[in-house]
Amino acid sequence: MVKAENVEKAYAVAKERYAELGVDTDAAMEQLKKVKISMNCWQGDDLHGFLNPDQELTGGIGVSGDYPGVARTPDELASDLHEALTLIPGKHKLQLHTIYAVPDRKKDFDEVGPEDFKYWVDWAKKEGVGLDMNPTFFSHPKVKYNFTLASPEKATRDYWIEVGKKSREISNYFGKELGQLSVNNFWIPDGFKDNPIDKQSPRERLIKSLDEIFAKKYDENNTIEAVEGKLFGTGIESYTVGSHLFYNNYAISRGKLWTIDAGHWHPTEDVSDKFSAFMPFGKGLMLHVSRPVRWDSDHVVIMDDALMRITRSLVRDNELDRTNIGLDFFDATINRVAAWVVGARSTQKALLQAMLAPIDQLKKAELNYDFTTRLAVTEELKSYPFGAVWDEFCLKNNTPVGTDWLDEIHQYEKDVLFKRN
């Protein structure tokens, strides 16, 4: 067990070290406390959901691994999420999907409405968390040849348009019941494995379908839509209808949020560089913080350079207020609760490290063409005692410090997860 008194001692020194640079560590912790991370519920059950859990996962996304303890029921998932939330400092949110509805009879994707999410609203109230929504456009027989909202068949489009409309009702219900914004994120898998002849008609059909889904007005304090593009998915390598440029334009022309999933780009592209190019024109961002590894876009988030670039951009450009931070990964080779904790804590750590910098002074140096100071200070900052501030943040927010949380996960495995199989 980490000794609280050591955390306090280290923090006292760190506070002084940062103060010498003009950085207020208490203010940084206050700022961090306000940032909500929206947890991806699907990490807990390998994206099976409860509507058709035996259906194969489609849409060009995949979960690999068979670590024991996967959640199979709403109660199991809720319990695992609770466990994770106790190990992550602060108050957060949860992202749901249509397939996580808890209906009292068998229902299809286009039939579930707010009443089928009461389970999660009650849970969220108890936990003091917010809820975000995602309509599910995959893992269903009506995904025809990898097409949903951009399908050439009207009947297929109409089915998925209804799923989209229902998700808005559900998201609006979340926002109203919980008194905080619910982001409703749209991602569809539509595309071709091989080179298409006609690249334009599917995109025109997608615009029409989305416009129809979004025709009804909802109070944007309750719900707002976000649209998520992608470079490609497995089996859909040659053409993605909802490309990045497509949704960038859609979001700007329709006043929607643009979702940037960090795993959806060419590996050498720096997603953090997109924010400041979009924000002056756009309403706001939704992030799917993820980690691409070669062809896979969804590894557990770690505090790597890509994540640090993301958090530095948001903090330095002061865009946290207009950015909704969500996690998106699925790893079944490790303890699934630990995956949430690692992803969320790493994101918070990266935010904190970005906040612990003399940003105003550095901006001033830059304006004065003093690039030497900019380079030297940002480089020295990397070895400042940020870990001591992070530990203090955990301690102050009654969550385990250092690897202590892992002991709790091991206990939970023994008591709960390993008893499931």
List residues near Zn ion by CB under 5 A. Answer: 261, 288, 328
Options 264, 265, 390, 392, the catalytic residue = 264
Of 140, 166, 288, 349, the one binding ligand RNT by CB under 6 A: 288
Footprint of ligand RNT on 44-63 (CB under 6 A): 61
Footprint of ligand RNT on 383-412 (CB under 6 A): none
Kindly state whether residue 230 participates in binding ligand RNT, applying the rule CB under 6 A: yes
The verdict on whether 230 is a catalytic residue reads yes
- We find the least distance from the C-beta atom of residue 337 to Zn ion, in angstroms, to be 20
Q: 230 contacts which partner out of ligand RNT, Zn ion, none, CB within 5 to 8 A by kind?
A: ligand RNT
Spatial separation of the C-alpha atoms in residues 225 and 258, rounded to whole Å: 9
CA atoms in the 13 A half-sphere facing the CB of 420: 17
- We find the least distance from the C-beta atom of residue 47 to ligand RNT, in angstroms, to be 6
- We find the least distance from the C-beta atom of residue 163 to Zn ion, in angstroms, to be 17
Q: 140 contacts which partner out of Zn ion, ligand RNT, none, CB within 5 to 8 A by kind?
A: none
- We find the least distance from the C-beta atom of residue 131 to ligand RNT, in angstroms, to be 15
User: Is 46 assigned to a binding site?
Assistant: no
User: Is 116 assigned to a binding site?
Assistant: no
Footprint of ligand RNT on 209-228 (CB under 6 A): 228
Spatial separation of the C-alpha atoms in residues 185 and 164, rounded to whole Å: 10
Residues constituting the chain: 421
How is residue 310 written in tokens?
């993301």
Kindly state whether residue 417 participates in binding ligand RNT, applying the rule CB under 6 A: no
Of 187, 192, 340, 405, the one binding ligand RNT by CB under 6 A: 187
The verdict on whether 187 is a catalytic residue reads yes
Options 108, 296, 317, 370, the catalytic residue = 296
Q: Which is nearer to ligand RNT, 259 or 348 (CB)?
A: 259
Binding-site size, ligand RNT (CB under 6 A): 9
Spatial separation of the C-alpha atoms in residues 206 and 30, rounded to whole Å: 42
CB count within 10 Å of CB 53 equals 14
CB count within 10 Å of CB 122 equals 12
Four-residue CA torsion sign, 38, 40, 41, 44: negative
**What is the widest separation between alpha-carbon atoms in the chain?**
67
Q: How far is CA 327 from the centre of its chain?
A: 3
Of 46, 110, 116, 328, the one binding ligand RNT by CB under 6 A: 328
User: Is 211 assigned to a binding site?
Assistant: no
The verdict on whether 410 is a catalytic residue reads no
Options 169, 190, 328, 392, the catalytic residue = 328
| C-alpha dihedral, 228 to 232 to 234 to 236, nearest 10° | 100
Q: Which is nearer to ligand RNT, 92 or 230 (CB)?
A: 230
- We find the least distance from the C-beta atom of residue 296 to Zn ion, in angstroms, to be 13
Q: Which is nearer to ligand RNT, 261 or 392 (CB)?
A: 261
Options 97, 274, 288, 349, the catalytic residue = 288
Of 43, 98, 134, 139, the one binding ligand RNT by CB under 6 A: 134
How is residue 96 written in tokens?
């749901």
How is residue 265 written in tokens?
């780009």
The verdict on whether 364 is a catalytic residue reads no
The verdict on whether 261 is a catalytic residue reads yes
Q: Which residues are catalytic?
A: 187, 228, 230, 261, 264, 288, 296, 298, 328
> Which residues does the annotation place in the binding site?
264, 296, 298
Residues binding ligand RNT (CB under 6 A):
42, 61, 134, 187, 228, 230, 261, 288, 328
